[in-house]
Amino acid sequence: MIRSALITLALGLVQLALVLILSPLLLGIVSRVKAMAAGRVGPPLLQLYYDLAKLARKDAVFSRSTTWVFLVGPLAAVAIPASAALLVPMGSGRGPLGFTGDLILFAYLFAMARFLTVLSALDTGSSFEGMGAAREVAYSALAEPALFLGLAALASFSGSLSLGPLLTAAGQGWGVASGPLILVLAGWALVFLVENCRIPFDDPNTHLELTMIHEVMVLDHSGPPLGLVLYGASMKFMVLGTLLVKVCLPTSGNPWIDWPAFLLGLGALAVGVGLVESVMARLRLNRVPQLLVVAVLSCAFAFLMLLLQPVSK
């Protein structure tokens, strides 16, 4: 009993430390890949770490029209992905704090982060931020069903309602259920891109406030709170990326193989995101819902296939 509690504690600390330390590197890989594809040298891989260190040393400026609510967004942006990191399996087969039904908590932790970010944006009273909040809420309403239908498909496949066994079973299931898994992966890849504000949904590098979705909501942050927002975004990238990587990777049970494989998988995901951003333009804003509906349908069909033709493991 004590032994298993200690293992859980150790595993939790390892995952938390990895997310805290490695996540900015992933965004560094994305921008390096984009730069190389465009024929530029690009910023150093560790640029986001430098930026965070710089922002931590700065003072923050607060608009007179804001209240304490304004600070809740950045705090939630960091605290929530860190908490969610304890529910997903990374190199091992289970999430450190996983329990039956934790997938609901996982999904709604991110919904709560979004809710708090939106509140913090509305707190500024700026018409831009209100516009961004409206867009963010509208698109997440479409991304959420895709996430849940994908989870439902995998739950019916694995027979488990906990993210650890569910994702591990998916990783092992390519031999028997490759069709539904491809559909779930495709739907979730779109959800991953929209949740992380990447092209084709949003452009994290644009300075054009009228075209932004997520970025416009955090325009008024500066100094350490802005650092928290950026740091939180990178953690979100890593934690949500874990879902995609785990669905793709079988688990061997040997941590000396599983952990390096997982980390390489995350690196490959970052390279993939960089390549997508290098070869296509952003969608027109009113086309975003259409692509998200495709994500919902893709996950829904995976669910239907598994319901109608249960796979015996």
Partner 1 sequence: MKRQPAHLANGEARSLSAIPNLEFSAFQKTILHELANGARLACLCADRTGAGYAVLAEEAKQRFGVLRTQFPEKEFTSLTPQCPQAHLFEREIAEQWGLLPVDHPWLKPVRFHPAWTGRDVWEREAIQPGVMDFYRVEGETIHEVAVGPVHAGVIEPGHFRFQCHGETVFHLEIALGFQHRGIERALEGGPHKLTLKMMETAAGDTTIGHAWAHALVMEALAGSEVPARAHHHRAIALELERLANHTGDLGALAGDVGFLPTAAFCGRLRGDWLNLTALLCGSRLGRDLVRPGGVGFDLDATQIEELRLRLEAAFTDTANAVELLLATPSVLARFEGTGKIERFAAEDAGLVGPAARACGLPRDARTHFPVGFYQDLKLPMVLDHDGDVAARARIRWAEIQASVQFIRQALEGLAELPTGPTLVPCGPLAPNHLALGVVEGWRGELVHMAITDSEGRLGRYKVVDPSFHNWTGLALAMRGQEISDFPLCNKSFNLSYCGFDL
The residues binding partner 1 (CB under 8 A) are: 34, 37-40, 127-128, 130-131, 135, 199-200, 203, 205-211, 277-287
CB of 42 to partner 1, least distance (A): 10
CB of 292 to partner 1, least distance (A): 16
DSSP track, 279-312: H-PPPPGGGHHHHHHHHHHHHHHHHHHHHHSPPP
User: Which CB atom, from 180 or from 274, has the smaller least distance to partner 1?
Assistant: 274
DSSP track, 4-51: HHHHHHHHHHHHHHHHHHHHHHHHHHHHHHHHHHTT---S-TTHHHHH
Task: Report d(CA 214, CA 280) in Å as an integer.
Answer: 19
Centre a 10 Å sphere on the Cβ of residue 235 and count the other Cβ atoms it contains.
24
Task: Report d(CA 141, CA 230) in Å as an integer.
Answer: 23
Beta strands in 150-217 (DSSP E): none
User: Which CB atom, from 3 or from 207, has the smaller least distance to partner 1?
Assistant: 207
Q: Which residue has the tokens 């949003």?
A: 202
- Assign 100 to helix, strand or coil: coil
User: Which CB atom, from 123 or from 203, has the smaller least distance to partner 1?
Assistant: 203
CB of 35 to partner 1, least distance (A): 8
CB of 126 to partner 1, least distance (A): 10
CB of 215 to partner 1, least distance (A): 10
User: Which CB atom, from 281 or from 308, has the smaller least distance to partner 1?
Assistant: 281
User: Which CB atom, from 14 or from 271, has the smaller least distance to partner 1?
Assistant: 271
Residue 195's φ and ψ, nearest 5 degrees, are -65, -30
Specify the amino acid at residue 1: M
Task: Report d(CA 277, CA 8) in Å as an integer.
Answer: 38
Q: Which residue has the tokens 């995952």?
A: 15
DSSP, res 101: T
CB of 283 to partner 1, least distance (A): 7
CB of 210 to partner 1, least distance (A): 5
CB half-sphere exposure, 128, CA atoms < 13 A: 13
CB of 286 to partner 1, least distance (A): 6
Centre a 10 Å sphere on the Cβ of residue 311 and count the other Cβ atoms it contains.
14
DSSP, res 113: H
Structure tokens belonging to residue 49: 């770490």
User: Which CB atom, from 38 or from 176, has the smaller least distance to partner 1?
Assistant: 38
User: Which CB atom, from 230 or from 306, has the smaller least distance to partner 1?
Assistant: 230
User: Which CB atom, from 19 or from 212, has the smaller least distance to partner 1?
Assistant: 212
